[in-house]
Structure 1
Amino acid sequence: MEPGARRWRPPEEQSFLQRLLHWLDILNPSLLLASDGEIKNSIILLDSVAEPGRDSTHDGKVKEAWNLNLCSVHPDTGNIIPVPFRPPALLLVAAPLFIFHLYSAGFNAANGNATSVATPQILLSRYSLHKPALQTFFRSLLPVPLHTLLSAFNLAVVRATEVDNGIQVVDKDGSVIGVSKTAGAKAIKETAISRAALIGTTALLPNLVAWILKRTRFMQRNTFALAPVRVMTAALTFATMIPVSFSLFPRTGTIMRADLEEEIQSSTQQAELFYNRGL
C-alpha cells in the first residue's frame, strides 16, 4: 500500500467530523493547479519523512504535500490521477452537468408536446392519478430513489471486478497479506452508500424546498422564481454533500481477519486488516 493510503489510517480512529475536516482540506480546487513535477516532489518529500502523517503533520510543507498527494496520487498504484478525475474536480465538473440536466428536464417538460409525456407522467396520465398527493409523489418523490439507485448501480457495475477478482488487504505495516473478494464486496458496498447519499440528497432537497416554497404567497405570485431557486439549492446541496458523503466511511477501510477467506486468515495473526475503499 502506497504512503498516500497510510495517511488515511492515523494512529487513532478518526471520527466523522475529523474525516470531514480532512476532506475539506483535500477538496481545495487550487490543488488541481499543481504540475506533475510538484506532485512527484511531494512524494519525494513524504518518503523522506520518518513517520509520514504521524509526527510531522505540524510541518506546513509536509501537510501541503500530504494534501496534494492524497488528491492526486492513486493509493494502490502510486500513479498520478488525471486532473478531471481527482476529488477536487468533482464539484467543478459534475455540478454544471447536474444543474444542466435539471434545467434541461424542466425546459423539455415546459416546452414539450402536451400529448407526449414521459415517465412517471405516463403513469399519471394512463391511470388518471389526479390527486395532488399522488402527483407530488410521482413528480417529486419517485425520481429521488430512482436517481439514488441508478447512481449506486453505476458504481457497482464499473467496479464489479473488485468483487470478481478481489482487492488487496494489508496489515498495519502496509504489507500485503492477500487478495480478498470479501473485502472487495465491502469496499463497493460502502462506496455505493456514500455515492447514494451524495446523489439522493442532492435530488431530494431541491424538490423539498420547491414544495415548501410553492405554498408561500410570494412564489404563488412569482412562479418564475421557483426554477432558479431549485437550481441554486441543487448546486449548494451538491457542493455540501461531496465532503459529507466522502466522510461517511474511512478511505482506508478495516475488516476483521475472521471475516476474510481462509487462506488469508492463515497468513496472519493480526485481528484487523486494511484495504483501500476508494471513492
Structure 2
Amino acid sequence: MNVGIGLPIGDPTTLLTWARRADAGPFSTLGLLDRLVYDNPEPLIALAVLAGATSRIRVQTEVLLAPLRETALLAKQVATLDRMTGGRLVLGLGIGGRDDDHLATGVDIRTRGRRLNSQMAQMRRLWSGEPYGDGVGPIGPEPARPGGPEVLFGGFKPAALERVARWGDGFLAAAAPSWAGGLFDTVRGFWKEYGREGEPRFVAQVNVALGPPDVIDQARSAMHAYYEFTGMADRMTAGLLTTPAEIRDALAGFGDLGADEVMLYCYGLDPDQVDRIADLL
C-alpha cells in the first residue's frame, strides 16, 4: 500500500521544501486541497510548480472543485499538467459545499452535481482528441495517458459514489476505517453495475500531525479554521492523529479494507513532519 503526503495550505512558500523532502522519501503522492474563498494556493498552479521541483512523486488534487471552473479551460489545464509531468498528475474531483465559493463564481450550488457530470462527459471527449463541437475543433494538448489522467472522486452520498463508476478510475475516502469500509463496498457495487473491468482504485485520507506540542496545536488550529463552515470542526479536529501508533493503526486498518494508498494530510506548517512520518513508515 502506498502512502502519500497531503500538503498544508497555510503558507505556499513552504511547499517546495515539503515537496522535495517527500520526493526524496518513501512517499508516492503529494496532495493539495481546493477552496476559492479562502487563504490557500490554487492547486493546479501550485502543483505545477511542485511537479517541476520534483522528479518522481505524483501530484494530486484532493479534491479540485470542478464545478467552479469553466470546463474547456479546465480540460486544457489538466491535459497540459498531465503531459508536462509525464503522467504524474492524479485528478481528484469533488463538488464542494460552500455557498461563498459558488457565489464568487456565479455557479448555482444546487446544480453542482449535475454540472460535474456534464463536465466529465465533455472533458473525456476533449482528452480523447474529439472536437469541442458546433464548429469548434479539438482542444489540446494530448494528455500523457490516453483519454486523460487518472480521475478520482471524493464524496459520501450515493450520487458521488456512483460517479466513480460512471466517470472515474477510483475513490477518495476522507473517512476513518470504521466508516470507509461501507463506502468502499458501495463503490464496488456501482463498479460492477456499470460493467467496469478490474477494480476501482481506493485512496484514503487521514489527518495527522507529528511533532512537539506547538506543531500539533498549530495543526489543530488550522484544521479547525478550515472546517469551521461545516459546523463539525470540533469533531473533525478530535480525529487528528498525533502519534506514530495512531498513524500505524490507521494505515493497517485501511490496508485491511483493501486501500491502494493512504494520504496523510498535514495541517501544521513544520516540514520536519515529512521526515518524522518517513521514519515511522
TM-score by length of 2: 0.24
More helix by share: 1
Q: Which has the larger Rg?
A: 1
TM-score by length of 1: 0.24
More strand by share: 2
